[in-house]
Amino acid sequence: MAAPRWSVLGFWIRGNSQGLGSVLILISKPFCSAAAASEPLNAQRLAEKLRAQKQEQVTKKEPVSTNPVQRRVQELVRYTQQLQRVHPNVLAKALTRGILHQDKNLVVINKPYGLPVHGGPGVQLCISDVLPILAKMLHGHKAEPLHLCHRLDKETTGVMVLAWDKDMAHQVQELFRTRQVVKKYWAITVRVPMPSAGVVDIPIVEKEAQGQQQHHKMTLSPSYRMEDGKMVKMRSSRNAQVAVTQYQVLSSTLSSALMELHPITGVKHQLRVHLSFGLDCPVLGDHKYSDWNRLAPQKLSVGILKKLGLEQSKARYIPLHLHARQLILPALGSRKEELNLVCKLPHFFVRSLRRLGLEMPNQDQSKNNEAR
């Protein structure tokens, strides 16, 4: 005789009469105990629970590497993905823990890796979304939203300035536009530039890169080029922008360097383009500008991969090692002195320095470099 069947809100149950009553009670209890209006809500919760369990199973299936460096790479990938799924309140709370400076006009935060400043296609969460929440956490529920004064790339970490009102934000933006703000970045580069200090003064323009994937990149638009040993003037692009970067090597090995970068101008992706195409020393983890024609993971030498404890197949997970280290704002409003803002390096940056054998400059060396 065929086993009897019952349907409980879409669940089909087969079995014999023994013990079936307890099974039905166990399954149908959440649904029978509420009114009909609440049944869709319970079904939704059950679906969410099942999805969470499925996601947990997928996570458990991911092989855990025995190499500590590769485990750290997996953690960075996971943290970056989680950052886009975190609740805005949680993100705002995390930003409050990284505040570098706060007064009646400005709030300066330490921007984390992988967090975009503005929204866009595929962006679920960005800094501009949490500014109202951040303001309320700092000044109470009646506080007006904070305002952005400048921007950093999604993958760039470090000093970021916010203002309490629009007028102050416009004043700070004007300081950036007129190049009155001193900006200093630190970057780990693949290869070492020659000479070890200098200025890159080459205009930058956005062009379409021809390859398997059509995409646009910023690239150099030099005014001169060498032909048969002679300097020949080139026709300048109408859309090219003046771009000037001062640089200095702080520490180096045979295959990598820690560099301090001082952008005089503020062109999109200026530092990455000047380092990669101007000095042939791309930033470690720059998978966009390490090759002009391709959008592909950065190709690293065997020596660097060995020091990092990685295989080339895992290079795609290396984060961009570009950090907004310091900002010096001139006197503004009621503040009569310049504001010197310094942000510590993120943990992954420090670990890479140690792995690659690059030394962190001490304060005395930094002061000597500034004096020079």
* Single pTM value for the model: 0.74
Q: What is the average pLDDT score of the chain?
A: 82
Model pLDDT, residue 62: 55
Domains and their CATH numbers in the chain = 68-356 (3.30.2350.10)
**Tens of pLDDT along 167-211?**
999 999 999 999 999 999 999 999 999 999 999 999 999 988 776
pLDDT given at position 150:
95
pLDDT tens, position by position, 210-261: 766 677 889 998 877 777 777 777 777 788 999 999 999 999 999 999 999 9
Contact partners, residue 344, CB within 8 Å, separation at least 6: 110
pLDDT digit string (tens) for 123-142?
778 899 999 999 999 998 88
- Single out the catalytic residue among 153, 167, 201, 291: 153
Between the two ends of the chain, the Cα-to-Cα distance in Å is: 95
Name residues whose C-beta falls within 8 Å of residue 335's C-beta, 6 or more positions apart in sequence.
103, 105
Q: What is the pLDDT of residue 34?
A: 43
Strand ranges inside 166-321, DSSP E? 182-190, 197-201, 204-209, 215-220, 224-227, 230-233, 244-252, 256-263
Both tokens of residue 343?
Answer: 């942000």
The pLDDT of 276-282, averaged and rounded, is 95
Instruction: Check if 153 is active-site.
Output: yes
Average pLDDT, integer, range 319-340: 93
